[in-house]
């Protein structure tokens, strides 16, 4: 039993949080990878804003860092969409290194990106390593909901509603959500404008697929809708450093409805929007409609920290798992790890 | 794959709920056992108030019912304290029948009743069957809390607070809690009076032991306190069919504090008391104090139904488990079962 040796793959906002948490837990960070030239050659403590040097130098050459440092696992926090994310997971696998990632789609990639999932599963198996996706959704959209469902005699519909501060996603998300642009550009309806924009993300749908897998339900079809949120009064957008005026887009909502062969409907509505005054953290409310009706509220979850903590608590599960692309339905439920020993 | 064949062991309030739910799920109830002469020889539908006959005749001779009907499992809902409960679980095991029970201490009997737990474990193993305890606590005090802990980087203290309507426990509980008796009988302090009375139950302590086992924490010691609740205004006690006057006992609270080697403190405060106006179901609030601080609320849980549903959803786990006294930390997390097929 020893603390795992970890490489940080990505030293942005989440990677920097992970650096702090891993060091506080006494974990040996044996390497750090960043994609930008600006980070290359600097001490991890400097890049991650830890207020001290760590002796770990951030490098751009991922394959070299992984092969030289021979870690037990790479903690991957880089670009999100799975097609862009795939080469990074592949680099880990080819270096013989397990990977835990917070890329949203990796929580359950089989239905949305079957080819990529299959390819990564193959390369992981060839090199005897595990790839797993986790994040905020693992506990809050999947495991706790699955548990609450365990107290039901009959379930008609499971409905989740979550609202997060879009500023947590930085300028990239603000631009993807078209925050601050007119809600009715050139006259199309809000709904058309919304369809024309990038979808809010696969967060909801992927989480529902994972929930169905964890609870043994058979998915028949999914219906997804998107909605733009419009500012009713001036709102501060921190990540774009500007004020969003009434009538401009203030966020986006995705609504996914999953229909299962067992007759249980799973619904998740996720809104990312500029925080209204008094909003603290992520709201996360679920209702199980059936016999009996059951409710779950986890108020004011810090979404950023709650994502990183789960990535870290999953480390022992991933190191111990069978090789392949192992989704959370194939792992034990996530647990607090006083120690990350395996 | 087939629906399990079930014997109802106990046809009181919970057993009757279980009868309804099992029949609604299409499960084959192949026998029913009751302890009272008044139920002997009557149809289960009559005893359980199902509004129809079932063809299953309630019998007092448990061993005979079990050996003649050869069920896959007995759903046990009889007397609660483990020493009184033990002979019933033993009867099931000796008949070669798995048992799932809602007796409170059976959720995790090892620390409080090691001899009984060991003896039942032995007899279960000898006969190749499984004994498991479940109930309201499985989802609400253990699994969901364990999951939420999975989103924490550092945990200092986990604090649960639950309040249930003592009338749900019927006249037996009302008398055990001394509801309606003077709070200061003969002059002792409330705290002394409380110690002299029966403890509110091992509900809290047993649940914390199960939570520690599920989350891999090592218990060092437990400190338990009891408190009586005193009516401030006249309150209706349905189960005793009387009004409790101000100054009389209206309920009891147990507070259990568990200290672990890992430095995580687990605290559960459970109050059973006469329902105040507007109180619906069981309140159940948890806070994880640490980094980050996390909260969980499951409002208005119907405690009676939520106990029975878990006993039923656990059936496939128990049938599939290894022989012995198998506590929930040794089983997969509880799940909603669209079908009870094994």
C-alpha to C-alpha distances, B85 to A130, A203, B121, B325, nearest whole angstrom? 46, 48, 14, 14
Are the C-beta atoms of B148 and A298 separated by less than 8 Å?
yes
Contact A153 B24 (CB under 8 A): yes
Contact A333 B338 (CB under 8 A): no
Radius of gyration of chain A (CA): 20
pLDDT of residue A148: 98
Contact B301 A308 (CB under 8 A): no
A338 contacts chain B (CB < 8 A) = yes
- CA-closest candidate to residue B315, choices B100, B48, B18: B100
Q: Could you say which of B262, B299, B334 has the minimum Cβ distance to residue A147?
A: B334
How far is A288 from A290, CA to CA, in rounded Å? 6
How far is A318 from A329, CA to CA, in rounded Å? 12
Q: Could you say which of A25, A150, A217 has the minimum Cβ distance to residue B139?
A: A150
pLDDT of residue A278: 84
Nearest C-alpha in B relative to A339: B262
Tell me which chain A residues have a C-beta less than 8 angstroms from the C-beta of B23. none
Contact A147 B144 (CB under 8 A): yes
Contact A151 B313 (CB under 8 A): yes
Question: Beta-carbon neighbour count of residue B26 at 10 Å?
Answer: 9
Contact A147 B152 (CB under 8 A): no
How far is A163 from B290, CA to CA, in rounded Å? 23
Crossing angle between the packed helical segments A82-94 and A114-126, to the nearest 10 degrees: 10
What mean pLDDT is predicted for residues B225-230?
94
pLDDT of residue B178: 93
In the DSSP assignment, the letter for residue A279 is -
Residue B210, classed as helix, strand or coil, is helix
- Measure B289 CA to nearest chain A CA, in Å: 13
Q: Is the pLDDT of residue B198 over 70?
A: no
Contact B150 A216 (CB under 8 A): no
In a 10 Å sphere around its CB, with 0-12 CB exposed, 13-18 middle and 19+ buried, how is residue B193 labelled? buried
pLDDT of residue B5: 97
pLDDT exceeding 70 applies to what percent of chain B? 95
- Measure B9 CA to nearest chain A CA, in Å: 19
In the DSSP assignment, the letter for residue A138 is I
Contact B150 A313 (CB under 8 A): yes
Q: Is the pLDDT of residue B135 over 80?
A: yes
Q: Is the pLDDT of residue B263 over 70?
A: yes
Tell me which chain B residues have a C-beta less than 8 angstroms from the C-beta of A312. 153
B72 contacts chain A (CB < 8 A) = no
Q: Is the pLDDT of residue B214 over 80?
A: yes
Contact A262 B216 (CB under 8 A): no
What mean pLDDT is predicted for residues B163-175?
87
Residue A65, classed as helix, strand or coil, is helix
Q: Is the backbone of residue B82 left (phi > 0), alpha (psi -120 to 50) or beta?
A: alpha
Are the C-beta atoms of A184 and A190 separated by less than 8 Å?
yes
Q: Could you say which of B151, B299, B333 has the minimum Cβ distance to residue A295?
A: B299
C-alpha to C-alpha distances, B212 to A262, B108, B262, B279, B287, nearest whole angstrom? 34, 10, 11, 30, 16
- Measure B293 CA to nearest chain A CA, in Å: 8
Contact B150 A306 (CB under 8 A): no
pLDDT of residue B185: 54
pLDDT by residue for chain A (342 residues), tens only, comes to 688 999 999 999 899 999 999 999 999 999 999 999 999 999 999 999 999 999 999 999 999 999 999 999 999 999 778 999 999 999 999 999 999 999 999 999 999 999 999 999 999 999 999 999 999 999 999 999 999 999 999 999 999 999 999 988 788 889 989 999 998 754 444 444 444 344 556 899 999 999 999 999 999 999 999 999 999 999 999 999 999 999 999 999 999 999 999 999 999 999 999 998 888 899 999 999 999 999 999 999 998 899 999 999 999 999 999 999 999 999 999 999 999 988
Contact A334 B262 (CB under 8 A): no
Contact A215 B335 (CB under 8 A): yes
Condensed to tens digits (0 to 9), the pLDDT of residues B23-75 reads 999 999 999 999 999 999 999 999 999 999 999 999 999 999 999 999 999 99
pTM check: above 0.90: yes
Residue A74, classed as helix, strand or coil, is strand
How far is B269 from B256, CA to CA, in rounded Å? 6
Contact B150 A335 (CB under 8 A): yes
**Which residues of chain B from 274 to 303 reach within 8 Å of chain A, CB to CB?**
291-292, 294-302
Nearest C-alpha in B relative to A337: B150
B120 contacts chain A (CB < 8 A) = no
pLDDT band at B312; cut points 50, 70, 90: very high
Contact A309 B151 (CB under 8 A): yes
Q: Which of A140, A153, A341 to mutate to test the interface with B (most CBs of B within 10 A)?
A: A153
A207-216, B78-87, B127-136, B204-213 — which is least confidently predicted?
B78-87
**Which residues of chain A from 123 to 162 reach within 8 Å of chain B, CB to CB?**
138-140, 143-144, 146-155
Are the C-beta atoms of A279 and A143 separated by less than 8 Å?
no
**Which range has the top average pLDDT, A183-192, B157-166, B200-209?**
B157-166
Tell me which chain A residues have a C-beta less than 8 angstroms from the C-beta of B24. 153-154
A26 contacts chain B (CB < 8 A) = no
pLDDT of residue A170: 81
Tell me which chain A residues have a C-beta less than 8 angstroms from the C-beta of B313. 150-152
B2 contacts chain A (CB < 8 A) = no
Q: Where is A19: in which H helix or E strand? A: helix A13-24
């Amino acid at each position: 039993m020893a603390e795992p040796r970890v490489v940080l793959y990505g030293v942005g906002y989440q990677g920097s949080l992970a650096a702090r948490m891993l060091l506080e837990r006494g974990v040996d960070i044996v390497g750090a990878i960043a994609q930008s030239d600006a980070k290359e050659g600097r001490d991890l403590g400097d890049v991650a804003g830890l207020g001290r040097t760590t002796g770990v130098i951030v490098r751009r050459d991922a394959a070299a860092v992984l092969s030289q440092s021979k870690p037990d696992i790479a903690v991957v926090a880089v670009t999100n969409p799975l097609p862009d994310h795939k080469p990074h997971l592949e680099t880990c696998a080819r270096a013989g290194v397990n990977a835990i990632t917070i890329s949203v789609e990796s929580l359950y990639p089989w239905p949305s990106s079957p080819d990529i999932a299959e390819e990564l599963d193959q390369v992981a198996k060839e090199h005897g390593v595990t790839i797993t996706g986790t994040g905020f959704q693992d506990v809050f959209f999947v495991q706790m909901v699955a548990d609450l469902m365990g107290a039901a005699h009959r379930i008609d519909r499971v409905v989740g509603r979550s609202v997060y501060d879009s500023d947590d996603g930085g300028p990239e998300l603000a631009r993807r959500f078209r925050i601050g642009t007119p809600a009715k550009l050139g006259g199309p309806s809000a709904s058309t404008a919304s369809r024309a924009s990038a979808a809010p993300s696969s967060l909801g749908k992927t989480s529902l697929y994972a929930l169905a897998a964890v609870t043994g339900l058979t998915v028949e079809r999914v219906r997804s809708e998107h909605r733009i949120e419009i500012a009713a009064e001036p709102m501060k957008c921190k990540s774009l450093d500007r004020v969003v005026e009434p009538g401009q887009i203030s966020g986006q909502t995705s609504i996914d409805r999953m229909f299962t062969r067992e007759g249980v409907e799973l619904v998740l509505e996720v809104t990312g929007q500029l925080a209204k005054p008094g909003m603290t953290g992520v709201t996360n409310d679920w209702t199980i409609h059936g016999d009996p009706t059951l409710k779950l509220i986890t108020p004011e979850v810090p979404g950023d920290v709650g994502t990183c903590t789960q990535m870290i608590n999953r480390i022992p599960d991933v190191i111990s798992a069978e090789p392949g692309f192992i989704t959370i339905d194939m792992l034990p439920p996530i647990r607090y790890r006083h120690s990350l020993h395996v």
